[in-house]
A and B are shown apart, each in its own frame.
Chain A
């Protein structure tokens, strides 16, 4: 999952490098959404472990 986030990040930056601004912005939106989901998932798992 973390590897997937880095792949999307790489894809986003490469798209911007290739002057595909709108596609890069779209990829960034997906990336920040997935990163937020991963964060909440991680927090949920940790809270369960503590309980």
Chain B
């Protein structure tokens, strides 16, 4: 494979990473918007799924920042598998008739079902991307350092916002299994 083809492969992979990263950011924004606008507080399993999505975004950024490496793909894969497992657990909690979640749905499916689907799509896409051997042979150093730095800042801001939300909802202890109100605002 010559240099031009390597460069093209690098560009395709980089754009794929950006698209998946923005998709994950949208998922996290919708989840947080749900919490703020509809006042439907996330359960502990929902928060664990958010952590899984943050970790997937982290793995993508590691690839964009430090170059494509199998260890970075492993971060994305293990995080997606974790998210998928937690979402599946939540689906099974509400699978029997009469045990449906009271929270709102998007196109008749709850957020945890969408989370399960999204995590599995990311597993498939990551497996396809990591299977391209040529990306590990190339010595192209990312010239898009600024872009990845900006993405890092966006991710850090999102984590801080969610962290504040968790502090308001659960305090420093374990989160309630069925949250009904913000613990820190309960006294007011």
* Contacts from A to B (Cβ < 8 Å): 1-3, 5-7, 9-10, 12-14, 16-17, 21, 24-25, 28, 31-32, 35-36, 38-39, 42-43, 45-46, 49
Contacts and interface: CB of A to CB of B under 8 A. Distances in A.
A32 B159 contact: no
A38 B45 CA distance: 10
Contacts of B82: 32, 35-36, 39
A13 B48 CA distance: 17
A39 B60 CA distance: 24
24 contacts: A2-B170, A2-B174, A3-B166, A3-B172, A6-B159, A6-B163, A9-B159, A10-B163, A12-B58, A13-B58, A13-B155, A13-B156, A14-B156, A16-B58, A17-B149, A17-B152, A25-B75, A31-B55, A32-B78, A35-B51, A35-B82, A38-B48, A39-B85, A42-B45
A1 B45 CA distance: 13
Q: Is the interface of A mostly helix, strand, loop or mixed?
A: helix
Contacts, number: 86
B10 to A, nearest CB: 19
Q: Is the interface of B mostly helix, strand, loop or mixed?
A: helix
B175 interface: yes
Contacts of A7: 163
What are the 6 closest A-B residue pairs judged by CB atoms, nearest first? A6-B163, A17-B152, A10-B159, A1-B174, A2-B175, A2-B166
Nearest to A1: B174
A50 to B, nearest CB: 9
B111 to A, nearest CB: 17
B92 to A, nearest CB: 10
B85 to A, nearest CB: 8
B142 interface: no
